[in-house]
Amino acid sequence: MMRATADAWRGDVGPPGAYPYTAAAEGGPCTINGEPGTLVREGNYLVCKPTGCQDTRTVYDSPTYDAAEGLRRKEEARLSMMQDQMSAWRQKG
């Protein structure tokens, strides 16, 4: 009896960040690392999986040493951030 009580914490350990399973919550919105996701059943737990939305922002593969190009990139990043903040209230979750 005491051994079973002492080892109870070792049984059925869910994945990190998982929620106990409920049918009502399955398929619901969630966030994972700040990105939108969906709750998916894994055994007796719900795990947040990314929805697959890829970031559409431009990725620059090299640094720039041109002042005008640097200012343009900085302004583009600032406008993108402002747009994200203005529309953040529209997203679920």
Instruction: Give the domain ranges of the chain.
Output: 14-53, 55-88
What local confidence, expressed as pLDDT, does residue 32 receive?
83
Token pair 């209230």: residue: 89
What local confidence, expressed as pLDDT, does residue 39 receive?
92
What local confidence, expressed as pLDDT, does residue 24 receive?
86
Backbone φ and ψ for 90, nearest 5 degrees, come out as -80, -20
What local confidence, expressed as pLDDT, does residue 40 receive?
92
What local confidence, expressed as pLDDT, does residue 75 receive?
93
What local confidence, expressed as pLDDT, does residue 53 receive?
57
pLDDT in tens, the chain (93 residues): 677 667 666 666 677 778 888 888 898 998 888 788 899 998 888 999 888 755 555 666 677 778 888 889 899 999 988 988 888 777 765
Distance, in Å, from the CA atom of 39 to the CA atom of 17, rounded to the nearest integer, reads 11
Q: Residue 57 carries which DSSP code?
A: S
